[in-house]
């Protein structure tokens, strides 16, 4: 019964956050800016342009873009000064998703066919490059070397994190620790959200203390975001058996699985590794339930969110409540 109450409370919090009028207005600004940019782009060939904007048009949570606007406003900046930067953040994010889908061989993203499934592998790779360079062109228009440095470093960290995740084959899983995972997640997701928060704060003319606090906030909710992704990957797979999107199927580093393996003997680890190889996922889900690995992962994500919120209290910010709500949304989102 307690579990039902928790789920109901989470749903109420989720609805309160997503329907917040200020957040809704900022999301509307982002969508308008993205649509205007996309519709005004008449570059050739048209097929490349369509492939590049395929997922952009499909929508999304726009969390990174939202962070750019909210952190700019938090330090007293004008939201309209950061709107083009939020478009660039969305383009960078979409480019990374195109790469992810190619590597994971996924066929569906945001309810539509993935770019490589719709347009072919070669055009998908070029579409990702197109978005990256479009984003860099937008950022260069700000004429701020620090801003370009922040975004470039975030992009490099994402690449490093993705490579580390890719190289954690099943045979390495027994030796992969929670600390190793956090380091990977920091590069893959934490640094990107840190970059979004930091760049928004730069546009808003943040002081040094504000810049540090907001950067820390972005990194921490990025870690929580990645852990929540892992939890959803496991639970959604268990409900739908859609193995194409499962970390189990793809043999990726997944925090609940790492936490579960940490409680196993070497003999049991060999047994469960074989189960992964044999695609006997019911055994793995039993392991996750017995070790309460999903609950432990959620608790770790919660701790990162709490640290993120605490970091906001160290400096003066104009919209701290919105940033706190966004952090909570990351923790309880259902997709």
First-to-last CA distance in the chain? 24
In this prediction, residues 4-19 reach a mean pLDDT of 53
Q: Which residues contact 115 (CB under 8 A, 6 or more apart)?
A: 51, 54, 55, 98, 101, 123, 124, 127, 128
The pLDDT value recorded for residue 7 is: 40
Burial 261-289 (b: 16+ CB within 10 A, else e): beebeeeebeebbebbeeeebeebbebbe
**pLDDT-derived band of residue 177, with 50, 70 and 90 as boundaries?**
confident
In this prediction, residues 24-31 reach a mean pLDDT of 92
Query: 244, 116 in Cβ contact below 8 A?
Result: no
Q: Which residues pair with residue 109 across a beta bridge?
A: 112
The mean predicted confidence, pLDDT, of the chain is 86
pLDDT tens, residue by residue, 30-50:
999 999 999 999 988 999 999
DSSP per-residue codes, 88-145: HHHHHHHHHHHHHHHHHT--EETTEE-HHHHH-HHHHHHHHHHHHHHHHHHHHTT--H
Is pLDDT of 288 > 50? Answer: yes
In this prediction, residues 292-301 reach a mean pLDDT of 94
**When comparing pLDDT for 193 and 177, which is higher?**
193
pLDDT tens, residue by residue, 109-121:
888 999 999 999 9
pLDDT tens, residue by residue, 204-240:
999 999 999 999 999 999 999 999 988 988 887 655 5
Domains of the chain: which residue ranges? 2-332
Residue % of the chain over a pLDDT of 70 = 88
pLDDT tens, residue by residue, 232-284:
888 876 555 554 456 665 566 789 989 998 888 888 888 888 888 788 888 88
Q: Which residues pair with residue 112 across a beta bridge?
A: 109
Lowest mean pLDDT among 85-99, 105-119, 192-206: 105-119
Query: 177, 198 in Cβ contact below 8 A?
Result: no
Does the domain at 2-332 match CATH 3.40.50.300? Answer given as no
Q: Which residues contact 101 (CB under 8 A, 6 or more apart)?
A: 109, 114, 115, 116, 117, 124
């Amino acid at each position: 019964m307690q579990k039902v109450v928790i789920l109901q409370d989470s749903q109420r919090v989720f609805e309160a956050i997503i329907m917040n009028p200020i957040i809704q207005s900022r999301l509307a600004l982002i969508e308008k800016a993205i649509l205007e940019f996309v519709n005004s782009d008449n570059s050739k060939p048209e097929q490349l342009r369509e492939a590049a904007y395929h997922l952009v048009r499909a929508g999304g949570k726009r969390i990174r873009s939202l962070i750019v606007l909210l952190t700019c406003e938090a330090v007293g900046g004008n939201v309209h000064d950061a709107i083009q930067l939020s478009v660039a953040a969305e383009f960078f994010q979409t480019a990374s998703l195109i790469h992810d889908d190619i590597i994971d061989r996924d066929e569906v993203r945001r309810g539509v066919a993935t770019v490589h499934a719709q347009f072919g592998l070669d055009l998908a790779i070029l579409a990702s490059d197109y978005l990256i360079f479009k984003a860099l062109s937008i950022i260069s228009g700000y004429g701020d070397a620090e801003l370009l440095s922040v975004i470039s470093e975030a992009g490099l960290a994402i690449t490093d994190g993705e490579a580390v995740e890719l190289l954690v084959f099943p045979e390495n899983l027994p030796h992969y620790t929670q600390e190793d995972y956090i380091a990977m997640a920091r590069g893959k997701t934490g640094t990107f959200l840190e970059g979004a928060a930091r760049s928004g704060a730069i546009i808003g003319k943040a002081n040094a203390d504000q810049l540090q606090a907001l950067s820390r906030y972005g990194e921490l909710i990025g870690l929580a975001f990645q852990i929540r992704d892992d939890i959803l990957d496991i639970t959604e797979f268990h409900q739908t058996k859609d193995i194409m999107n499962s970390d189990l199927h793809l043999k990726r580093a997944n925090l609940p699985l790492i936490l579960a393996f940490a409680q196993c003997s070497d003999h049991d680890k060999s047994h469960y590794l074989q189960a992964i190889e044999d695609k006997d996922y019911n055994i793995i889900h039993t392991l996750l339930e017995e070790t309460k690995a999903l609950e432990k992962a959620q608790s770790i994500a919660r701790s990162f969110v709490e640290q993120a919120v605490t970091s906001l209290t160290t400096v003066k910010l104009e919209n701290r409540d919105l940033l706190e709500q966004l952090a909570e949304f990351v923790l309880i989102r259902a997709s």
